[in-house]
Structure 1
Amino acid sequence: MTLPPRVLAEPGAGPEPTARPLRPPVAVALAVAAGAALLLALPPYDLWWLSPVGVALLAAAVHRRRLRAGFGLGVLAGVVLFFPMLEWTRIAAGWLPWTLLAGLQALYVGLAGLAGSWLSPLVDRWRALWPLLAGLIWTTSEFLRDRTPFGGFPWGRIAFSQGDAPTLRLAAYGGAPLVTFAVAAAGGALVALAWRRWSPRTLLPAAGFAAVTALLLAAPAALPLTVPGGDATTVAIVQGNVPRLGLDFNAQRRAVLDNHVNATRALAAEVAAGRQKQPGLVVWPENSSDIDPLQNADAAALIQSAADAIKAPILVGTLQRTEVPGDIYNVGILWRPGTGPDHAQQYEKRHPVPFAEYMPLRSIARLVSDKADLVRNMLGGDEPGVVDTGAAVLGDVICFEVAYDGIVRDVVTGGAQILAVQTNNATFNEAEARQQLAMVRLRAVEHGREALMVSTVGVSGFVDATGDVHDSTGFNTAAVVVRDMNLDGPRTLATRSGARPEAVIVFGTVVALIGVLPLRRRRGTINSDGVQVSEER
């Protein structure tokens, strides 16, 4: 990293009235590199250690810049991150919705860049604050992105890049926000380490920042985790596959249902022959029966035949029609052998995806995409997905809901013994499926519960309470996997504390953003050459 000229490097030396930001071409290059690093840290690349590097690169790019430049550099990093990461949305919706979604997400990284520029005087006066401020900025940026607009879109959080990192264990103590905070703080320590003139006097502070980086990234490996230690039950997941990938999987719904029924019957034959364990529960994916079995006798008969054959209840992912034409619910309903659907053990998806499962602005959306009217009007449920199967109490979340902290937390506080994610990746690709599995890994650690993800086409698999994946399947293939899952276990600190750690971090960010005002007034403005032009503003 090239240090700007005329920088006072001693920590605590006070404001630097003539300090310059990095030259614009260098800053642009660093912003691009920051976005690339954050992208490569996430699945399917899984280079987790690049997340703090990406934070550090953007922090250096925006430091001491004007606010609009900081925002623009952040947006640039966000474009490099989100356009490739969310490319799978183009498969289903086309290039324009993909562009709008990725561009919107990039704006939130722009806000992180703007905040970094705004807080530069604090860093110039107290270099030791850089790790803290970086953690505050990124966690708060994700806080906003997770909730706005239309309920937010938490895909691509820094925490979801840490599946193979020691920092994943922090999820058990403060959830995804604490993981993001620690990784971003490590990035702040990295840039504080690099942004200096090297001399004997700076060696001790440099060693301190290096130690902070190592501590934040490596020390969590020593943290104990809550591991279920109670009874176990045998669970089978059925990945039936679809005839064709793509948006028209709905036109194949009878074939998709047949695939899952036939795979379950085949499992029953394996059990009867003694080649496979008898499951206490079978889980089918989201959309495994897009034919509503409560209104279609043929679909109901097929599912019943599968449940009777396997002699275990099946959690079926289906759509339920309402009395209002066009209105539907996305549900997981328990289908018991002998008796059929158990209406008392059913979960209606609480957070339908805007512009994918319902259309908030349909008349405008028609101008954006000719596929707008393919989106049905999905209604949201109002109860957590706690499903008592008899063999175990499932915490059911459907598809993208696994990205939302509160939805997953609600099923655990509601009594879930294991977590189940029913999903359908037939309209996307393997990269999207692996990004989703990374979220399941974090949730298992966060709440100390073993988990499973079952998809129509893959990737499906089991995750233990330490975040390790077991028996994962391939993509665009049929598979049945049977595994014993441990139940219960004490609640983690993250489960008990809920959203409070994130609230504290957001409050700290607000304090920092306001607290820098006196320093900004004294610091004066910096022109395009990086030279101070006034003492007061």
Structure 2
Amino acid sequence: MPQRCLLALVGGLVLAAAFEPVGWSWLMPPALAALVLSLRGLRPGRAWIPSLLFGTTFVYAVMVWMRSVGTDAWIAMCALEAAFFVPLGLGMAWSMRHRAWPLWTALWWVGIETWRSGFPFSGMPFGRLVYATADTPWADALPWIGMTGVSLLVALTGTTLAWLLLRLRDLDALRTRSTYAVVGTLAVVTLAPALVSFPVRETGTTTVAAVQGDVPGTGLDVVAVHRDVTANHVRLTEELAEAVAAGDEPAPDFVVWPENSTAVDPFTDPGVHAGVVAATDAIGVPVIVGAMANDPLDDEQVLNQGIVYRPGLGSGDRYTKRHPVPYGEYIPFRGSLIPSSYGKLRMIPRDMARGTGLEPLRVGDVRVADAICFDVAYDEGIGGQVARGAELVTVQTSNAMFSRTGQLAQQFEISRLRALETGRWVVVAAINGVSGVVRPDGTVVASVPARGQDVLVETVGLSTTLTPAVRLGVWPARAALAFLVVHTLAVAIAYRRRRRGARDVAVAEQQGGQA
């Protein structure tokens, strides 16, 4: 058992190294194989121990950037995320009793990954296998099978590697037709999308400007210097207008400001409102402003929104962030679980309300799918807007608190993968990094590094083509969760029948002895 535990601990760290900022994606299969080998042959009652150790080293390493919020927040959140690896160990132990156990164990991984990505309080999707697949053959399958499907493909590669390592003990078994068939099928499924890419038809173009204004000082606290932040974005937009007038820059069709480019309500703060209007009128095209707006339905709540400002007309369409961060942007069960006065929770006087809309923004003649910060890590938001006609994707993000961590690179990689999944250009506007423009094939056309201050002006393509991944929507994730429920029920029923059968045999033997 100690060797199994050590293997699991190392395997979790190796898996974390597959994600940015290290980014060694090829480590995922051997890391998952290490988990399988640490569980192989264990009864479910003991299998959860190596699995929990694997999960602990993985989540604490891959989300070490949460320490920027507070060491206590990092410890608490990762402890919760690691707890999901307990049912994973049980499920994988059950699965290894099946003949096709590489597939069953891969399904358990994806099912648990889906579960923890949505629960509790909307979950924590960072660390999904698919989010480490940029620039790999696995990513080419994204437009075909979506995020959940690619995670399954990566997991299956790892569990199949474990199966092959176990067969190495028997060279004759390794040379059988079944081995060649399994490996060949997996290779075809993995590499075929790279050879047969999904065709995305471009229906037009538009020119977009993404503004990264940066945060004065350390760059970690937007609220403390929010007026300077807004002034930076106003100034850069006005300078862009001057460059356009001089012929030094192409005229954009619209401009994107990042999340928290105004950290107060632009409709109630006269100074901020005047700055936004001045910038919009100067550039003469719509600006999608990242703003904190008061909730008109509840004075105790605030809305994190992307608001379309139009020159001479004022505000138009709005997108409201769908996934506020628990204990970062709102306090679940305020006052009943953790006191609101504890630590940095004092900085959240009002809860951020959750958005529900999936209608794309109308920005001039273009329909835009918007996402705000962590929204980009959830499947239903961008995909739902694209399915409803969005021709382009924008991501407005702050991430100022994480500006010195690997979180910036992890989130930007997710934005790249969304481009592949949806077949859309993606424009990222970050308050102090990383901003960028991404093609539908995931390649980066232009970017601004962390703490940079710049404006990106790029002509991007528009499309109304729906990829199979967008058409599938969230159904693959629902299927993964359904698998967990069905398999667990099947195991429970089988266990109960075995217990009943054993009890009947014992009673029969006792009665026979008495006779």
Same fold (TM over 0.5): yes
How far apart are residue 386 of structure 1 and its match?
A: 1.4
Deviations 1:114-147 (A, max 9, x none): 211122221xxx2xx1331132111101121122
Q: Which moved more, 1:368-377 or 1:443-452?
A: 368-377
Q: Which amino acid aligns with 2:172?
A: P
Q: Is the 8 A contact 2:215 2:229 kept in 1?
A: yes
Report what 2:226 is aligned to.
253
SS at match of 2:325: coil
2: CA distance between counterparts of 1:133 and 1:421? 35
1:180 correspondence with 2:141: no
**2:507 matched to which residue of 1?**
none
CA distance in structure 2 between the aligned counterparts of 1:347 and 1:473, rounded to whole angstroms: 24
The number of equivalent residue pairs is 493
Instruction: Confirm or deny that 1:83 pairs with 2:60.
Output: yes
Equivalent runs, 1:71-470 vs 2, <5 Å:
71-92=48-69, 94-122=70-98, 126=99, 129-196=100-167, 197-204=169-176, 205-245=178-218, 248-322=221-295, 324-342=298-316, 345-363=317-335, 364-366=337-339, 369-375=342-348, 376-384=350-358, 386-429=360-403, 430-470=405-445
CA contact (8 A) 2:222 2:260 kept: no
* Cα displacement (A) at 1:480: 0.8
Deviation at 1:68, TM superposition (A): 3.8
Q: What TM-score, normalized by structure 2, do the two folds share?
A: 0.90
1:352 aligns to what SS in structure 2?
Answer: coil
Question: For the residues of structure 1 that align with 2:359 and 2:342, how far apart are their CA atoms?
Answer: 33
CA displacement, residues 495-527 of structure 1 (integer Å, 9 cap, x when unaligned): 112222333344444444455679879999xxx
C-alpha distance 514-211 of structure 1, shift in aligned 2 (>3 A): farther
C-alpha separation in 1, matches of 2:330 and 2:494: 47
Partner secondary structure for residue 230 of structure 1: strand
> Structure 1 pair 68/355, CA: closer, same or farther in 2 (3 Å)?
farther
Kept after mapping to 2: 8 A contact 1:285/1:454: yes
Q: Report the Cα distance in structure 2 between the residues aligned to 1:369 and 1:225, rounded to whole angstroms.
A: 50
Q: Which runs of 5+ in 2 are unaligned?
A: 500-515
Is the alpha carbon distance of 1:134 and 1:245 closer, same or farther for their aligned partners in structure 2, counting shifts above 3 Å?
Answer: farther
Deviation at 1:109, TM superposition (A): 2.7
Residue identity opposite 2:71 in structure 1: W
**Which amino acid in 1 is paired with 2:117?**
D
What runs of 5+ residues in structure 1 fail to find an aligned partner? 1-23, 525-537
- TM-score scaled to structure 1, two decimals? 0.87
Go from structure 1 to structure 2 and tell me whether the alpha carbon gap of 1:238 and 1:228 turns closer, same or farther (over 3 Å shift).
Answer: farther
Q: Is the Cα–Cα contact under 8 Å of residues 225 and 466 in structure 1 kept in the other structure?
A: no
1:356–1:201 CA distance, 2 compared to 1 (3 A): closer
Please say if residues 96 and 368 of structure 1, whose CA atoms lie closer than 8 Å, have aligned partners that are also in contact.
no
Contact 2:359 2:385 in 1 (8 A): yes
Q: Does the CA contact (< 8 Å) of 1:130 and 1:189 recur in 2?
A: no
Question: Separation in 2 of the partners of 1:359 and 1:516?
Answer: 38
Task: State the match for 1:55 in structure 2.
Answer: 32
Residue by residue, what CA displacement relative to the aligned partner does 1:347-393 show, whole Å, maximum 9, x if unpaired? 12222221111101333323894111212311122312511011411
What CA deviation, in whole Å up to 9, does each residue of 1:298-326 have, x standing for no partner? Answer: 21111111112111110000011246444
What is the distance in 2 between the residues matched to 1:111 and 1:246? 40
Counterpart Cα distance in 1 of 2:480 and 2:260: 38
Q: Which amino acid aligns with 1:441?
A: R
Residues 245, 427 of structure 1: 8 Å contact kept: no
* One-letter amino acid matched to 2:274: A
The Cα of 1:247 is off from its aligned counterpart by 5.2
Q: Does 1:43 align with 2:20?
A: yes
> Residues of 1 paired with 2:101 and 2:309: CA distance?
54
Segment of structure 1 superposing worse, 281-290 or 29-38: 29-38
Identity across the alignment (%)? 34
Amino acid at match of 1:159: V
Identify the match of residue 493 of structure 1 among 468, 472, 487.
468
**Aligned residue for 1:28?**
5
1:190-246 deviations in whole A, cap 9, x for unaligned?
000001313334322544444345334433322322424110000000000001346
Q: Per the alignment, in what secondary structure is the counterpart of residue 399 of structure 2?
A: coil
Take 1:471 and 1:70, find their aligned partners in 2: how far apart are those partners?
Answer: 47
Deviations 1:74-105 (Å, cap 9, x if unpaired)? 1211111111222222212x111111111111
Q: Distance between the aligned counterparts of 2:186 and 2:288, measured in 1?
A: 45
Greater shift, 425-434 or 188-197, is seen at: 425-434
